[in-house]
Chains A and B, each alone.
Chain A
Amino acid sequence: MISYGRHQFPGKLFVVEGTDGSGKSTQLALLHQWLKAEGYPVFFSEWNSSPLVKDTTKRAKKRHLFTPASFSLLHATDFADRTERDIIPPLKAGAIVLADRYIYTAFARDVARGCNRDWVRAVYSFAVKPTMAFFFRAPLDIAIDRIVSGRPNLKYYEAGMDLGLADDPEESFTIFQGKILEEYDRMVSEFGLTVIDASRSIERQQREMRLMISQHLNRRRSKSN
């Protein structure tokens, strides 16, 4: 088994991370359009998308079957399927893989749920190290506002209701997201995440990302010449 940091593939992997409502999916969709238009083979992969695990996750969320540890392991199972199916093969084939949420989502959420930091990192050590990981950092109140105003009610696990932080879902969500943000902040230096200020305009964030990404793409082209 090849572990984090050791994989060597011709393709490139760019991931976006951040709390809910930070605007990362919008930015990734714009990147996708741009890279396709530039003629690159692009493959998109998102969190919680394994066809093998989907039904189990859905049922467990609905019936509140998770503990922090089983929540962590089932999401790791989902991620392993994505890695084996959607991430490694396209990277081997030289494609650009865009991932909406990656291992850092698990690290932030699971640790906020009370799992051991080292244990969660060990579980995910099979992951491919991204070429670049963008962390969309939005002030907590803005992120919460975007989520709460966009949806009629917060989901049980999303609001961290399983942790008994507060009886009110919105209050629980706010506390939980605060813990998640703390974990993300710790990971910036640990994993060299690229911080994007998500409070600026969409256009400006996108320009910044394209500039940074094109450096990796140019380098690859000149190598093959």
Chain B
Amino acid sequence: MEQEEYSGKLIVIEGTDGVGRSTHIAILRTWLESRGHAVLDTGMTRSVLAGRGLKEAKTGHTLGRLTMQLFYATDFIDRLENEMLPALRSGFVVLTDRYIYSALARAEVRGIDSAWIRSIYGMALVPDVVFYLRIHSAQQLVERVLASGRGFDYWESGMDLHLGEDFYDSFIAYQTRMLKVFDRMSAEFGFHVLNASRSVRSVASDLRRAVAKVIDETAASDETSHPPDKIAPINIKDVPKKALG
């Protein structure tokens, strides 16, 4: 397999709906830029290729389970090849709001064959670090949904799974399952877990400290030698499965 070195860093923020991922990405971005790092932030359904189509498909509620997984995979590969990789090659810090792990979790909760979904995402890069913003119960997420004022969303409530009488029941059942899957993946993929039940300020300060460590580690080793980067380049021909362990 062809190896490619790049100086950028791929930092993933994962977590269920409503844990504050986008808030923390915004805070991190400002902080990183003030430290002099160029930052690219990206997230699910934001691809030039498939973002709009995927959002439109989701408004209709006629999106089948398999079709949904593949639409997300299309969105992911487009952002990976056209945004994340070029940025990493140019030495950017890439902050991504969710990565393949949310896709894997959503698929698993929907009873999708895990070998199948994992083979599709086998082309993903291994991130430098995955922060999992963890909240301990779905009830806690509900408080945040209510506080945000935007109410319950069809997909965030897993309404396609028919788990409950209404959005509330379904939301609790769906997010409880998601939390369980994330906990399991956390061990499997070695997430850096942060307790997101705390104040934004204390979570943000933990995040900054951990991110600084990831970035400074390389900066220090840069001065002595150039070890081959552990990240493999995307190459569909070789189907690297590194991101999946």
Which residues of A are interface residues toward B (Cβ below 8 A)?
Answer: 1, 3, 50, 52-53, 55-56, 59-60, 65-70, 72-74, 76-77, 80-81, 83-85, 114-116, 118-119, 122-123, 125-126
Q: Knowing A3-B116, A70-B81, A126-B116 are in contact, say whether A76-B70 is a contact too (CB < 8 A).
A: yes
Complex CA gap A52/B48 in Å reads 16
Complex CA gap A59/B52 in Å reads 11
Complex CA gap A91/B98 in Å reads 37
**Distance of B65 from chain A, by nearest CB (Å):** 7
- Other-chain contact of B57, A52, A116, A123 (Cβ < 8 Å): A52
- Asked if B7 is an interface residue, CB under 8 A from chain A, the answer is no
- Other-chain contact of A70, B49, B60, B120 (Cβ < 8 Å): B49
Check B116–A125 contact: CB distance below 8 A: yes
- Asked if B77 is an interface residue, CB under 8 A from chain A, the answer is yes
* Chain B interfacial residues counted at CB < 8 A: 37
| Chain B positions 205 through 245: 1 when the CB is less than 8 Å from some CB of chain A, otherwise 0 | 00000000000000000000000000000101111000000
Check B236–A115 contact: CB distance below 8 A: yes
Q: Can you list 24 pairs linking A and B with CB atoms under 8 Å apart?
A: A1-B66, A1-B111, A1-B116, A52-B60, A52-B71, A55-B53, A56-B49, A56-B52, A60-B49, A65-B49, A67-B78, A67-B81, A67-B82, A70-B74, A70-B77, A72-B236, A73-B120, A74-B49, A77-B73, A77-B74, A81-B64, A84-B66, A116-B239, A126-B66
8 closest A-B pairs by beta carbon, nearest first, are: A56-B53, A84-B64, A77-B70, A1-B113, A122-B119, A73-B74, A80-B67, A80-B66
Complex CA gap A52/B111 in Å reads 22
Complex CA gap A81/B71 in Å reads 10
Neighbouring B residues of A60 by C-beta, 8 Å: 49
The majority secondary structure among interface residues of chain A is helix
Given A70-B49, A80-B69, A83-B66, 5 more A-B residue pairs with CB atoms under 8 Å apart are: A66-B49, A69-B81, A73-B73, A77-B67, A84-B65
**Distance of B232 from chain A, by nearest CB (Å):** 14
- Other-chain contact of B119, A50, A73, A114, A119 (Cβ < 8 Å): A119
Complex CA gap A70/B48 in Å reads 11
Output the nearest chain B residue to A81 by Cβ-Cβ distance.
B67
Complex CA gap A56/B71 in Å reads 10
- Other-chain contact of B74, A50, A68, A74, A118 (Cβ < 8 Å): A74
